Amino acid sequence: MILALAQWLQNTSFAMFVSGSDWAYPFVQATHFTGLSFWVGTNVALDLRLLGIGKNRETAAQLAKNLFVWNWIGFAIAVTGGFLLFSSAATTYVPNPAFDVKLTMLLPVALILHIWVQWKSRVWGATSEVQSAGKIAGGIELLLWLGVVTAAVSIPYFA
């Protein structure tokens, strides 16, 4: 059933346009990577601040607040671009084990943890010295996003 849905999606006009155009696929891919850069970059910045790495110009709570909008704009761009990339070759992505691990296991856990870290960073990082729970959560989140990125770059090797 999932493969049938993937086949239907892959045969939609927008998916066929993305996959069949000389410029659309690279443009969508660049858009996806730009969104990922904002998303992962702002996540890493907050996680490193929670871990106490880098300059202490502002607290982790202030950094989380300052990066919040850019973080979620990046997420929206990454998801939109990712969906368009997926739709252009959905039948090859669905059976791919690296894609499956990325989308069904690592990404949901990392996203839930990120929302929690973003919310709790107001408490953990209210002062220049981050609470231990914040350091642990920041470290775990960093590892999860590294896992997501590793799974993503592994997708071509299982195609």
| C-alpha count within 13 angstroms, C-beta hemisphere, residue 93 | 21
Distances (CA, A) of 127 to 22, 44, 49, 59, 123: 51, 19, 12, 6, 9
The predicted structure's pLDDT at residue 152: 94
Write down the pLDDT at residue 57.
Answer: 87
Confidence label for 115 from pLDDT (cuts 50, 70 and 90): very high
Which residue would you say has higher pLDDT here, 122 or 56?
A: 122
Q: Please give the mean pLDDT across all residues of the chain.
A: 94
Per-residue pLDDT, averaged over 77-87, amounts to: 96
